[in-house]
A and B are shown apart, each in its own frame.
Chain A
Amino acid sequence: MTGAHLFVPIVLPAAAGLLALLLAKKERLCAALALLATAAGLADAGLLFGKALNFAAPWGGLGFFEFSLRLDHFSGFVLLAAAGFGLLIALYSVAFMKGRSSAGQYWAYFLITLAFVNGAALADSLIVLLFFWEGLLLTLFGMIYVGHSGAWRTAMKAFVLTGVADLCMMAGVALTIYLAGGQMAMSKIQAHPLPTGGLASLAFILLMIGATAKAGAMPFHTWIPDAAIDAPLPFMALVPAALEKLAGIYFLARITLDLYVLKPGSRLSILLMALGCVTILLPVMMALVQKNYKRLLAFHAISQVGYMILGIGTAVPIGIVGGLFHMINHAMYKSCLFLTGGSVEKQAGTADLAQLGALRRQMPITFACFFVAAASICGVPPFNGFFSKELVYDGALKAGGAWSWGWVFYAAALAGSFFTAASFLKLGHAAYFDKPKQDKSAVREAPVSMLLPMLVIAGMCLLFGVWNQLPLQKLIQPILPAGMLKGEDFSGLIPHNWWLVAGTVAALLLALANHLWGARRAGSGLGAADHIHHAPGLAGIYDAAERRVFDPYEIGMKFADAVGWVTWQVDRAIDFLYDTVTVKLTAAFVFAVRVPHTGSHAMYLAWALVGLAAIVLLLMGAV
């Protein structure tokens, strides 16, 4: 196997995607093509996993501009995970997208997205990484755009927010290459990671903005809940739930482990941890009050990133391992949750919780998958989310070191768990247990091609929990630089810290009690969080948030308009100089010169004499 083989994961889906774009009218052909390409992609990723390959070719000049790809353990892992989700969600989409007019385009963007993500995971040169990374903007726009005829507003929002973050990352890449003395290959910089401080800290933060925004962290996140409503649902399961988390956290880990030296307790580490905690807490509070199945999940897709950023930001091995483990766990349970949302929407005709209820009888398999995935995201033992969250908690406490300020972050993360559990109790209760508000007796279980991907992923959630040695020892722990782990192993069913388990269980029980109390008070599962929603002090904030007062996109657009208005005035003022001032001045000059031109020959002669005298005097003076 040679380095050129690394083009297969990029070119294969890209070519299939372009072909699908040409055949966009023939929906079934496109679907078959996508299934074939993703299946081949998974086989190829399996083949490549665990191998180490390199490829480099000149890509323009300047001495350092190289098209270089690199396969190592980490990129192979991301490739494999992306390919797995690609195949499963492609299978799911076949039934879901059937009969939609834009299905052909959907398939094309689906495949090209996979190609770009694979490219980003395989990139060695930072510029190649940026190339694929920013390229994702195109398919992001396309996949939301095909949702329905008005979805372009959300598509543009996603494009603009992500685009701004990507431009920051572009500046970060440029600075990093400069700081590394013109070296742009990550595999080379890795040998001597850059120390932070001054310009390097700026570069680090810029790269971090790019990575965390891709993963969906605040403040570049607000397109995700909107896309949940507007985009085709499998897009949510594929991109924000799985691929973007993989890509974003992959690069964040590369920044903190390979490119820069991030020390536990340093300012940048604390900044990352704080960003993680804010990202955990605020979106989960929003999730709690949502009344739409998909929108509620979307807020969790943001909130959970916080745990990953917190874990990696701790810069201690247990936290990093936890963060990375949470990344793959989240990709699984969140895409599974979105897929259950999709089958509910497809079968019951709506994702509005107020109109759903009692689906556990008609859709038992979907419910079972929901149950497993929801238990995972809440961190119920022994599902996968439990183990990764425990590791992140442990990391947060350890990062505090001697001063033990780590408990602040731990408390924030634990509060996040409480709200997560509360909102999933509400969601499950409202969708699967509440009395249906309309007659939904005709609703049937989803078709097998949609159930199968959900079942596989739910099974994996359980597997990665009870047999966490498999992912931790085989996939996650080898990612860390050799000297960092010092032989530690974080896997195993028996928790490392019983205090943390006690804390988690307490938070879960508290959430359950809160839910039961709230549900009895409101008389339904849907209203179980109303006492928090309408709590004095919170009600106003929730109101404003729902009106998008805090949406950075809305604020940014207003700001841009204000900048536009000011510059427009400047521009008009300059134009006034040309169109009015110059014209008036010329007219005034002409007028002033015309006055003495009376037509009197004697006067002209006198001027001529005066002029002649002046010239003569001047010449005499010069001589």
Chain B
Amino acid sequence: MGNESLLLLTVCAPLLGSLLLPLLGQISEKLRNGAALLMVAAALACAAGLLPAAIAGTPVTCRIGGLDLFQADRLAVFMALVSTLVGAIIVLYSFGYISHYQHRNEYYFMVVLFLGAMMGLVFARNLIAMYLCWEITAIVCWRLIGFFRDKNCVLKADKAFLVTVFGAVCMLLGFIMVYVQVAKVSGGTGSFDMEVIKRTLAGHHVSNWAVGLILLGIFSKSATVPLHTWLPDAGVAPSPVTALLHAAVLVKIGVYAYARLFLVTMPVSDLWQVLVPMAAAISALVSAGAALIETDLKRIIAYSTISQIAFIFLGLSMGGKGQAIGVVGGLLYILMHGISKGGLFLCAGIVEQNAKCRDITKLGGLVKVMPVTAVAFLLCAFSVMGIPPLGGFFSKYLVINGALTSGQLLVGFTFLAGAVLTILYLFRVFNLVFLGEARTDWVGQGVGEKSPTMVFSVGALAFLSVAAGLLVKWPFDFAQQAVQQMGIMQ
């Protein structure tokens, strides 16, 4: 199979394949579940199939209807691999989790469509294609957050939709300004094609207004303070959905778009290399502090995501001498955070579903009845804290190293304080949920890790957290090659 077909298949297998799922669901539950997993796995396999071409350094372009619609370079392949890997495990976990709720057809349709839209966004070479996929994720997200249909869920879903769409519309305005600027510079027509934008605007700065508008879109999608409060509220969704939002797809869209647009496509003013780290520092601190006070299990992990996303922004937005280190660290962070945060949410799902409670002050002592979940949670938490030999250590070190090397000492130390808070709030959650005195008689109520597929999924993510640390060389090398292709380092 040619590389172009592989690329097309990576995007279309989940994006178009998802439409079949409700039909398959009419025939058989198992068939639909299997097909959903197969579609995501196919995307994963095809993205892996694009690796050799990506490593060789020639971007694969896919032309549809006279437009260069999709393009796979190292950055895109890296992101696609992370998303589909975590996404596939989440789909597997859903088999156990969602099996006793209604609307399962819609659920699998939306989840696979979500991943498909993500693939489209990742490989998009055209700003409008990117925007379209961006909005598909917003709609899907709206359905999934409100999945349980009661009034509160629907309100939270509306909130998420309104905030992210507000950002996206701002972003669209920004795209149009870029289009106009391209037209001005080239003296001809404008363009939404990223390669054309890159060629035409080389040596210019994109107008700061456009950057600001696009950043609004990015920050609203990646839940950065002050556009963040919809993310903790989205915790009303089913746990695999929150895992998907936090680890694999939604919030990663923003950081990916930052890398794609501002590091690869558009040259931006140095001003943003100061402003974005500062915004990220505030976001990291505010959300980490809030995580220390919150008592709802899923909301705490959501605040943790906001805080960790800020670390990724820090890595990606560094300028100066530390830029290459920071960006490599930021990309590794996307991988490590995806794996371990996915694991944390799926563990939370097991706790929530079996103990029927999300308030950490009412849980406790669950390590006795859920030993595998407890160990998996702890390993994933260690990775988020950045403790070696788990993967999170490398990404956290590189990001901090980047900040300090760029001379941004104040920002760097703010993030160190954020890292200390990370240790504190994750331990607080672990202690209150799994250790200490049980406030309820778990054994008597027959609470335990019921579904083997769910336990296997969290085990797999915990294992990946460890493996990503011990075998860090491969993702590290690839992230570095991606950064070289992005033109940031030689």
Binding site for B on A (CB under 8 A): 58-62, 65, 127, 130-132, 134-135, 137-138, 152-153, 156, 159-160, 163-164, 167-168, 170-171, 174-175, 177-178, 557, 560-561, 563-568, 570-571, 574-575, 577-579
Contacts and interface: CB of A to CB of B under 8 A. Distances in A.
B182 to A, nearest CB: 26
B420 A567 contact: no
Given A127-B397, A567-B289, A575 B427 contact: no
Contacts of B294: 568
Contacts of B401: 174, 177-178
B101 to A, nearest CB: 27
A60 B416 contact: no
Given A167-B420, A568-B293, A60 B387 contact: no
A131 B431 CA distance: 25
B289 A566 contact: yes
A62 B328 contact: yes
B287 interface: yes
Range of interface residues on B (Cβ < 8 Å): 35 or more
Given A167-B416, A178-B405, A564-B290, A60 B423 contact: no
Contacts of A578: 159, 163, 229-230
A540 B467 CA distance: 53
Contacts of B389: 131, 135
Contacts of A579: 159
Contacts of B394: 60
A contact face: mostly helix, strand, loop, or mixed? helix
A561 B427 contact: no
B229 A159 contact: no
Contact of B472 (A59, A159, A168, A568): A59
A137 B393 CA distance: 12
A563 B401 CA distance: 25
Contacts of B413: 171
B324 interface: yes
Interface stretch (B68-76, B234-242, B445-453, B473-481): B473-481
Contacts of A560: 292, 420-421, 424
B141 interface: no
Given A60-B476, A564-B292, 16 more contacts: A60-B477, A130-B388, A135-B388, A156-B431, A159-B427, A160-B423, A160-B427, A170-B397, A171-B404, A171-B413, A178-B401, A560-B424, A564-B291, A571-B287, A571-B289, A574-B229
A174 B404 contact: yes
Contacts of B286: 567, 570-571
B297 interface: no
A177 B325 CA distance: 12
B421 A563 contact: yes
B289 A163 contact: no
Interface in B176-230: 225-226, 228-230
Contacts of A563: 285, 289, 292, 421
Given A170-B400, A563-B421, A134 B393 contact: yes
A273 to B, nearest CB: 26
A577 B473 CA distance: 45
Contact of B420 (A153, A163, A570, A574): A163
A620 B415 CA distance: 58
B480 A62 contact: yes
A130 B292 CA distance: 27
B385 interface: yes
A467 to B, nearest CB: 40
Contacts of A132: 388
Contacts of A134: 387-388, 393
A178 B291 CA distance: 33
A570 B226 CA distance: 10
B424 A171 contact: no
Contact of A575 (B229, B387, B435): B229
Contacts of A574: 225-226, 228-229
Nearest to A174: B401
A137 B476 contact: no
Given A61-B480, A62-B325, A127-B397, A568 B290 contact: yes
- Most A-side CB within 10 Å, residue of B159, B163, B385, B420: B420
A138 B382 contact: yes
Nearest to A565: B293
Contacts of B416: 167-168, 170-171
B87 to A, nearest CB: 26
Contacts of B404: 171, 174-175, 178
A368 B414 CA distance: 53
Given A171-B416, A565-B293, A567-B290, A60 B473 contact: yes
Contacts of A567: 285-290, 293
A561 B388 CA distance: 27
A228 to B, nearest CB: 21
Nearest to B291: A564
